[in-house]
Structure 1
Amino acid sequence: MKIAMANDHAGFALKTEIAGWLREHGHEVLDIGTFDEQACDLPDFVYPAALAVARGEADRGIFVDGVGYGSAMIANKLPGVFAAVAQDPFCAGLARSHSDSNVLCIGGKIIGSALALEVVKTWMSTEYLGTTEEKYARRVGKVAEIDARHIPRLEE
């Protein structure tokens, strides 16, 4: 699976560790940056990474900033991107199984690397339940309808 990754200065170290784990497990990483801990503006990195997901250039995205919410706010502005913040494996599992999220946002100032890797492992390995349970397909379908109605499609 191809994973777009982005971060700000607060998420650099954790993103680097997560990217290593993803590569070790056979995933291709599209690392948009940033590539150091110098103060930077999160949208400069999350926006192009979220665009890669929206355009289908990446299957999913994992974005790491200070608390995760900034990345999610940016990513969710793009059509077809469904970003969720998860700081524990339980929430990461629900973000996939119930909501079919395609972007995971993590707070590098909130959780340490051991917990973050468990969050990523859970999110990457959890299947969406909407393929077998109608209620999840119905609910996610409603969110997709809102997305289609209010977020303009990307120009080719």
Structure 2
Amino acid sequence: MKIAMASDHAGFALKEEIKTYLQNQGHEVLDFGAHSEDACDLPDTVYPASLAVGEGKADRGIFVDGVGYGSAMIANKIYGVYAAVCQDPFCANLARSHSDTNVLCIGGKIIGSAIAMEIVKTWMTTEYLGDTEEKYRRRVGKVQAIAEKHLQKLG
């Protein structure tokens, strides 16, 4: 699977750790930065990574900033991107199984490495239940209808 990754300076170290894990699992990582702990602006990395997911150049995305919310706010502005902030494996499971998210956002300042890795493992291996349970397919469909109405498709 191709995974777009992005961070700011606050999420750089954790992004690098997650990237190594994903590569060791056989995934291809598209790293949009940051490439160091030097101060940078989150939109400069998350926006192009979000576009990669929205355009189908990446299957999923994992973004790491200070608390995760900045990345989610940016990512969810892009047509075809469904991002969730997850702070524990339970939320990661629900974000995939109930909501079919394709972008995971993590807060590098509030989540330690061990829990972050469990979140990533859970999110990456959890299947969407909408393929077998109509209620999830219906609910996600309503969210997609909102996107169709208000977001511009990528050309």
User: TM class by shorter-chain length?
Assistant: over 0.9
1:44-64 CA distance string (max 9 Å, x none): 000000000000000000000
Where 1:84 maps in the other structure, the secondary structure is strand
Q: Which residue of the partner structure matches residue 150 of structure 1?
A: 150
Where 1:5 maps in the other structure, the secondary structure is strand
Please state how far the C-alpha of 1:114 moved relative to its aligned partner: 0.5
Matches within 5 A, 1:99-138: 99-138=99-138
Q: Cα RMSD between the aligned structures?
A: 0.3
Where 1:106 maps in the other structure, the secondary structure is strand
Q: 1: distance between equivalents of 2:89 and 2:26?
A: 21
Identity between Structure 1 and Structure 2 (%): 75
Return the letter of the residue paired with 2:64.
V
Q: Which residue of the partner structure matches residue 58 of structure 1?
A: 58
Matches within 5 A, 1:5-84: 5-84=5-84
Q: 2: distance between equivalents of 1:154 and 1:11?
A: 28
Q: 2: distance between equivalents of 1:26 and 1:87?
A: 25
Q: Which residue of the partner structure matches residue 89 of structure 1?
A: 89
Q: 1: distance between equivalents of 2:107 and 2:14?
A: 9
Residues paired across the two proteins, number: 155
TM-score scaled by structure 2? 0.99
TM-score scaled by structure 1? 0.99
Q: 2: distance between equivalents of 1:147 and 1:48?
A: 19
1:11-44 CA distance string (max 9 Å, x none): 0000000000000001000000010001110000
Q: 1: distance between equivalents of 2:30 and 2:152?
A: 25
Q: 2: distance between equivalents of 1:35 and 1:113?
A: 18
Moved over 3 A (4+): none
Q: Which residue of the partner structure matches residue 2 of structure 1?
A: 2
Where 1:79 maps in the other structure, the secondary structure is coil
Q: 2: distance between equivalents of 1:9 and 1:117?
A: 19
